Chain A
């Protein structure tokens, strides 16, 4: 039984839910396949997947036990290009935090290369795998329409105060709040205007965000108040300090 993260707080429980691939994430909105492709902006919706090499079945690969053991993903088998989706999550109780997003990509998806930075998180994968991953993430509770964003570049905003209407700051305004309080994505992840806006529904309320967040905050659930988490961090710190990266040696 894998143990994902320690802690007896609600935040720790949310992190475990995100990381455990046996648990299904709540689906909170519908985004069509074509809309996901449009938001990603790597190809025109409906167009064929460009390939970077012939399908594996036609390549005549050499005998290799690892190739027999590991089934290629659909994208790898078809020879798709590697493309990316990048998220920015506000520090104001966004459902996800970059490190948890990367851990989640590692535990839930195959054939991905997640990358973590302070204010953004990128997942690289074969194009048709990425479409499925992007759709799953955009429709799930791991994404909030106001406090999360799909931002390929000019990502600044995660650590800034929120806009007057509760949206995370985005210099390119890829998501806009409509007069009825719903949010629409109007640009792809690098800032090109979409042909038609993609409605993604109302943002979560503050109470709901606090209930679903994976971010420890002093004005929410503080990391230091989680005794189990602190105990484990101190234990790891002690082991690393005294025995480096091989504490059992």
Chain B
């Protein structure tokens, strides 16, 4: 019996790994391009955090003025950028969308990048998810927030609600 049945439930997920960290302006341009593509289910901006205040040391609590921490406009949505973006994780509805994402990156990024295929966003709830949120019916929100963070998920496509 052939047991190599392809699992159709495995989502198409990719990671855009850039050669350098992106400035907020470049992130804004790239996300604006990506927002035009149909077939993107979920997206996460990943990178080292930029805290709003100095977190430790003698200056603890001093406001942290950083040009990387600002609001950007994506589509009709105002997004507060709290990280220096170095990776973008995307879940796609179809493999054909990968090429469109690659093209958008090529148009907007002034340096090299890699697109890696893998599993970057969770598809099943963890025990922590259950403790924090209870039973999650909309599986699209899984893995979209840091469990320790109080930040909310941003919806770029309000029309879907």
Q: Which residues of A contact B (CB under 8 A)?
A: 41, 152-154, 156-157, 160-165, 169, 171-173, 176, 188, 190-193
Contacts and interface: CB of A to CB of B under 8 A. Distances in A.
Contact of A172 (B18, B66, B84, B86): B66
Contacts of A164: 20-23, 26, 110-111
A161 B54 contact: no
Give the residue among B21, B23, B51 with the most A Cβ atoms within 10 A. B21
Which of B18, B20, B86, B110 counts the most chain A CB atoms within 10 A? B20
Contact of A162 (B21, B55, B56, B65): B21
Given A163-B20, A173-B65, A191 B26 contact: no
Interface residues of B, number: 27
Contacts of A188: 59
B67 interface: yes
Given A153-B57, A191-B54, A171 B23 contact: no
A225 B145 CA distance: 45
A25 B67 CA distance: 34
Given A169-B21, A171-B50, A172-B54, A191 B110 contact: no
Chain A interface mostly helix, strand, loop or mixed?
A: loop
A174 to B, nearest CB: 10
A161 B21 contact: yes
B88 to A, nearest CB: 14
Contact of A191 (B23, B62, B84, B111): B62
Contacts of B26: 164
14 contacts: A41-B58, A152-B57, A161-B20, A162-B20, A163-B21, A163-B84, A171-B48, A171-B51, A172-B54, A172-B66, A190-B58, A191-B59, A191-B62, A193-B65
